[in-house]
Amino acid sequence: MRILYVEDEKLLADAVTHLLKKSNINVDWAEDGEEGLRLAKKPVYDAIVLDIMLPKMSGLEILETIRRQGIKTPVIMLSALSEVEDKVRGLDIGADDYLAKPFKTKELIARLNALVRRPTLRESKIVKFEDLEFDIENRTVNNVALTEKEAEILEMLINSGEKTVQKDYILAHVWGADMIAEDNYVEVYMSYLRKKLKTIGSKVAIKTVRGLGYKLVIK
């Protein structure tokens, strides 16, 4: 795997790069937004790890520019926990995942693997819901790859049919009690899933039931 890592904090970048390389991930490092954008246009990366706050050009601007140009390299955004709006905006304009700073490099590697993983040749186990074909084993929906958490959430939604799945239930089951999960994690993952359903062109949508949770509806 070869990734582009855009990060202006040199000490952090060095430490993370060192650990990624130990996991056999090749890293090209860009330390400002302009250099990041220049490199991001190259079709050689399996994924881009993109900090939001950068000199010269922000991570969001880079993301917006490459997506507008039709570049589909998977992007993981990095942002401070306080920058919820940036995260949501990043997801809106085409980021595939985000990681809050500070993060563990192990977690970044897991996300990268989930994002870049090609469907394996395991026997598929397909669950259908309207026009969706969800392959539990290979974690794809209509052949679009899902991350582990996206797949867990989609499985819950599909299993519940048109009944509402409570947000607390999702939080507890996907993140577990030992995780300092924030309420907005669920919302953020719903936006990932909505984006994927949109990519597929499915007539199934995820509806927010205010104050309760989420359910699948037919548009």
Interacting residue ranges for Ca ion, rule: CB under 5 A = 8, 51, 53
Cβ distance to Ca ion smaller for residue 86 or 135: 86
In whole angstroms, the minimum distance from the beta carbon of 53 to Ca ion comes to 4
Residues 59/51, Cβ–Cβ less than 8 Å: yes
Nearer to Ca ion, 76 or 145 (CB): 76
Instruction: Compute the least distance from the CB of residue 88 to Ca ion, in Å.
Output: 18
4: β partners:
28, 48
Of 86, 184, 129, 161, nearest to 170 (Cα)?
Answer: 184
Q: Which long-range contacts (CB under 8 A, 24 or more apart) does 52-56 make?
A: 52/77, 52/78, 52/79, 52/83, 52/86, 52/90, 53/8, 53/79, 53/80, 54/6, 54/7, 54/8, 55/8, 56/32
Which of residues 53 and 110 has its CB atom nearest to Ca ion in the complex?
53
Residue nearest to Ca ion (CB): 53
In the complex, what is the shortest distance from the CB of residue 100 to Ca ion, in angstroms, rounded to a whole number? 13
Choice between 51 and 150, CB closer to Ca ion = 51
* 3-state SS, residue 18: helix
Residue with tokens 């395991």: 122
- In the complex with Ca ion, the residue whose CB is nearer, 8 or 182, is 8
User: Considering the complex, what minimum distance in angstroms separates the CB of residue 197 from Ca ion?
Assistant: 32
- Minimum CB–partner distance for residue 121 and Ca ion (Å): 40
User: Whole-number minimum distance, CB 91 to Ca ion, in Å?
Assistant: 19
The nearer residue to Ca ion, 53 or 181, going by C-beta atoms, is 53
**Quick one: tokens of 130?**
């309207």
Within 8 A by CB and 6+ apart from 17, the residues are 5, 27, 29
For 103-160, give the DSSP string: --HHHHHHHHHHHHPPP--SPP-EEEETTEEEETTTTEETTEE--HHHHHHHHHHHHT
